[in-house]
Chains A and B, each alone.
Chain A
Amino acid sequence: MSIKELLLRGNEGGLDTSSLTPIQKITLRTVIVGLLFYGLAALEGMIMRAHEVKPLPMIDESHFFAIMTVHPIVGIFGSTYLIVFGAFTFLVPYLMKKPLFSVKLANWTWITIATGTILAWLAGFIYHYAPLYTIYWPLPVDFSQFKIAGGFMFVLGVALIMIGTLMFIFNIYATVFYTPKGQKKQPLKPLLMSAFGIDGFLNLVNKIRGKEPYAKEPPLSLPIVAIFRGTVDTFLDALVILGAGLLILFYILGEAFGWSLDMHSVDSLLYKNVFWWGLDLIADGLVLIYVAGTWYLLAMIITGRNLFMQNIARAALLLELVVSWAVWSHHLLSDQPQPEIMKLASGEMITAFELITQGLALFITLVTLWRARPLKMTNELKFLLGGLLGFGLAVPAGIIQADMGINRLLHNTQWIAGPHFHVAILVGLTMTLYSAIYVLLPILTNKGVKLYSQKLANLHFWLHLIGGIGMGAFMGMAGIDGMLRRHLYLNGEFGGYMFLAAICGLMLLAAWVIFMFNLIATVGVKGLLGIFKKSNLDPEIVVPAEPAPAAVKAGAEATPPTAPAKKKEDIDA
């Protein structure tokens, strides 16, 4: 078979989309669009990196910083949010044995977020609107540097992303709490106690007191608790970012209609505190808690066993609720007017608890895997280990910089961008998501596809792992030597480090190309396009066939709602 034919039809006939349920199709759409945005973000990263090695003639400073502004918007919201939201939109009903609350809403969620991401990207591409993702006041309303049309387009794009996020959150909460027709109504209190990890905490307390456990079988499984818990932070973060957007929009209107608004009537320090309180919840809600939940689920599926120290894990999620709301000040350790007590308590001491909560998640996951030896080194296991390693590297790097002494020398350097958040996102989060994709692919396709090439999957793994860690390492060394992360170096000051980081960046980009090739060769372009067509199956069915054996082994709460493929006309999906 020629490459062209292979890509068109897929491996061994590719994906037959006629048997896919609406929720399976929506999940696949969301993940595929998220993967495409990942490629765009990787390309943007490479353009910036190349410019740091040797200035590119077609890029001036306004273009460079416009790319830097949209890079995290595309990477975090366009890619990671979509992949995570897509996976959880499927997993919550799948694990809870009930239909998704609204299939239509799930479909509109990815469309809204993708549209918002494209709009924000266009604001950078067309107008070079470049306040960076931190939008420190009053930069986003500095119309001596930026056009109001660019600002409007950017705010609209980010607002759409946040509205899409709220739609996802509503759908998840509604799915957790609603009772489908014909099922017995579940009382709200135990569900809420379980969703916040309180039952796990009380189980621990009762164990210490020698009493019976508070809840022998908590009503929500641990991955659902983590999804619920992380979604609380994602919700608050969306509100804060929407609030900042409204404020910027108000000033845009003021500029457009000549209202002569004083940009200093907004206190920059107060704004920065509120904004970071919300923005840091992305780091906790999305990156730390969602990831912990995904690790737990993957470990259970891979081993077919229950999680080691479940109650500790549940209680840790409750602890993280308190921790994540009180750590934002580590972003303001170099802000001199910030009260010292805030720097000490919130910025240093409470932030240190993130080492504990994430360290616990790492330990629990590793021990769960260890107790199930011997395991086969599958794609999902190797990517999960890569993800664990990523956080094992990135979280301590973050704790180091959340120190008043070290922060004085590292704040806003490449250290922050490299060993901390790029390693956390690219190695920790993304490799965890690749593991989830390998686990979910057979479930989402009803075991209807065969991976085209295991060799390519291995190559993808090693290129991504080495590229991600290598890029973080060279950026970190540059940061220690004084290279700033939001600056332009046009005279090759750190060219050596940036050249090495660029090679690693190329490995990351090549890894993505190989993965996408392998994926398309597996499902085929026809299959890929098929997932964007309407499903004729009942939207109340999550998977049409028997659940995948792995999920049954993992002791998913109950058998997911399955049924023989049932035709239903005019279903919007």
Chain B
Amino acid sequence: MQEITTTHEVLGTLKLVYTIYALAIISLIGWFAYRVTKEPNSTKTFITPKVFYSYLALLVMVGVGIHILTYNKIPWVAWELKKHMIKPDRKVEIVVKDHKFHLPEIKPIVLQCGEIVEFNVKSEDLTYGFGLFRKDNSMVFQMQVIPKYDNKLLWIFDKSGKYDILSTEYSGPKGAFMKIKDAIRVDCHKKVALKESR
């Protein structure tokens, strides 16, 4: 079974990295505010064209590098970009109308760990959202649901559990109550092996 990065790992890393960054930039501005009021020790400056262009290069590297990193480390980016070439193991079609999700079968929809699931959510009236949530209210994934379009998303589950469906996009005051508890159950007793090509 191929190890895949989980959403918890991605969000945990984000929390850590951004917190470190935030503390660093706050400290930098704090230090700057202190030093800018002091007489300089010498007339020499470290702000040379070399420093400026290095800073510029750093911005480019961070801006572009973040996407290269996530493409290589976050599996659902490749699933998204290659979705036309990937054949799903299981298709789940859900219809949304009048602020209600209509599931294709009586809940819970049972899915297996490791199988490629294609969710296709269609709206017949408004723009909605479709998100899957764990029991602790944390999100597994979400997508927008554009009316009159096929809204397809590929996902591979890696943990057993029951998941709730929530509309993640506002569709009027009634939309706040669009929730189906335990709509999906993932069963990991019978894992479907992931192919290397995936």
Chain A interface (Cβ < 8 Å from any Cβ of B): 60-62, 64-65, 128, 130-132, 134, 136-139, 142, 145-146, 264, 267-269, 272, 308-309, 312, 332, 334-337, 340, 344, 348-349, 352-353, 355-356, 359-360, 363, 366-367, 369-371, 373-377, 381-382, 385, 388-389, 392-393, 396-397, 399-400, 403-406, 408-409, 411-413, 419, 469, 473, 476-477, 480-484, 486-488, 493-494
Contacts of A145 in B (CB 8 A): 172-174
Do A409 and B11 touch across chains, with their CB atoms under 8 A apart?
A: yes
Contacts of A477 in B (CB 8 A): 15
* Residue among A334, A340, A385, A389 with the highest chain B CB neighbour number at 10 A: A334
Contacts of B35 in A (CB 8 A): 373
Contacts of B146 in A (CB 8 A): 268-269, 272, 335-337
The answer to whether A403 and B70 touch (CB under 8 A), given A139-B172, A337-B151, A373-B39, is yes
B9 CB to nearest chain A CB (Å): 11
B1 at the interface (CB under 8 A from A): no
Contacts of B80 in A (CB 8 A): 340, 404, 408
Complex: A385 Cα to B26 Cα, angstroms: 10
Could you show 19 A-B contacts with beta carbons less than 8 Å apart?
A138-B127, A264-B148, A309-B52, A334-B144, A336-B152, A352-B63, A366-B32, A371-B47, A375-B36, A377-B33, A385-B29, A389-B25, A399-B66, A404-B81, A481-B138, A482-B137, A484-B166, A488-B177, A494-B137
The answer to whether A360 and B37 touch (CB under 8 A), given A61-B173, A385-B32, is no
The answer to whether A142 and B172 touch (CB under 8 A), given A137-B127, A264-B148, A408-B141, is yes
Contacts of A413 in B (CB 8 A): 139
List the 9 closest pairs (A to B, CB-CB), nearest first: A352-B63, A405-B74, A405-B70, A486-B170, A482-B138, A488-B176, A61-B173, A145-B172, A482-B139
A53 CB to nearest chain B CB (Å): 16
In-complex Cβ contact of B127 among A64, A136, A312, A359 (8 A): A136
The answer to whether A406 and B10 touch (CB under 8 A), given A138-B126, A272-B146, is yes
B147 CB to nearest chain A CB (Å): 5
Contacts of B63 in A (CB 8 A): 352-353, 355-356, 399
Do A480 and B142 touch across chains, with their CB atoms under 8 A apart?
A: no
Chain B interface (Cβ < 8 Å from any Cβ of A): 7, 10-11, 14-15, 18, 21-22, 25-26, 28-29, 32-33, 35-40, 45, 47, 52, 55-56, 59-60, 62-64, 66-67, 70-71, 73-74, 76-77, 80-81, 125-127, 129, 131, 133-134, 136-139, 141-144, 146-153, 166, 168-174, 176-177
Complex: A23 Cα to B20 Cα, angstroms: 46
The answer to whether A340 and B172 touch (CB under 8 A), given A137-B127, A473-B22, is no
Do B36 and A369 touch across chains, with their CB atoms under 8 A apart?
A: yes
A-B contact count (CB 8 A): 216
B146 CB to nearest chain A CB (Å): 5
In-complex Cβ contact of B60 among A356, A483, A486 (8 A): A356
Complex: A539 Cα to B35 Cα, angstroms: 44
Contacts of B15 in A (CB 8 A): 477, 480
Do A142 and B126 touch across chains, with their CB atoms under 8 A apart?
A: yes
Complex: A138 Cα to B124 Cα, angstroms: 11
In-complex Cβ contact of A268 among B55, B148, B172 (8 A): B148
Contacts of A360 in B (CB 8 A): 56, 59
Contacts of B133 in A (CB 8 A): 482
Complex: A138 Cα to B126 Cα, angstroms: 6
Complex: A182 Cα to B180 Cα, angstroms: 73
Complex: A370 Cα to B36 Cα, angstroms: 6
Do B18 and A397 touch across chains, with their CB atoms under 8 A apart?
A: yes
Do A419 and B169 touch across chains, with their CB atoms under 8 A apart?
A: no
Contacts of B26 in A (CB 8 A): 389, 393, 469
Do A393 and B25 touch across chains, with their CB atoms under 8 A apart?
A: yes
Do A363 and B139 touch across chains, with their CB atoms under 8 A apart?
A: no
Complex: A336 Cα to B39 Cα, angstroms: 56
Contacts of B7 in A (CB 8 A): 409
Contacts of B74 in A (CB 8 A): 405-406
User: In this complex, what residue of B is CB-closest to A369?
Assistant: B36
Contacts of A269 in B (CB 8 A): 146, 149
Contacts of A374 in B (CB 8 A): 36-40
The answer to whether A409 and B141 touch (CB under 8 A), given A138-B147, A337-B151, A373-B38, is yes
Do A385 and B33 touch across chains, with their CB atoms under 8 A apart?
A: yes
Do B66 and A352 touch across chains, with their CB atoms under 8 A apart?
A: yes
B79 CB to nearest chain A CB (Å): 10
Complex: A110 Cα to B146 Cα, angstroms: 37
Complex: A78 Cα to B190 Cα, angstroms: 58
Contacts of A396 in B (CB 8 A): 18, 21, 62
Do A348 and B67 touch across chains, with their CB atoms under 8 A apart?
A: yes
Contacts of B45 in A (CB 8 A): 371
The answer to whether A404 and B148 touch (CB under 8 A), given A137-B127, A139-B171, A493-B137, is no
A185 CB to nearest chain B CB (Å): 39
Do B77 and A405 touch across chains, with their CB atoms under 8 A apart?
A: yes
Complex: A312 Cα to B47 Cα, angstroms: 15
B95 CB to nearest chain A CB (Å): 15
In-complex Cβ contact of A392 among B29, B126, B148, B171 (8 A): B29
Contacts of A136 in B (CB 8 A): 126-127, 169-170
User: In this complex, what residue of A is CB-closest to B21?
Assistant: A396
B96 CB to nearest chain A CB (Å): 13
Contacts of A353 in B (CB 8 A): 63
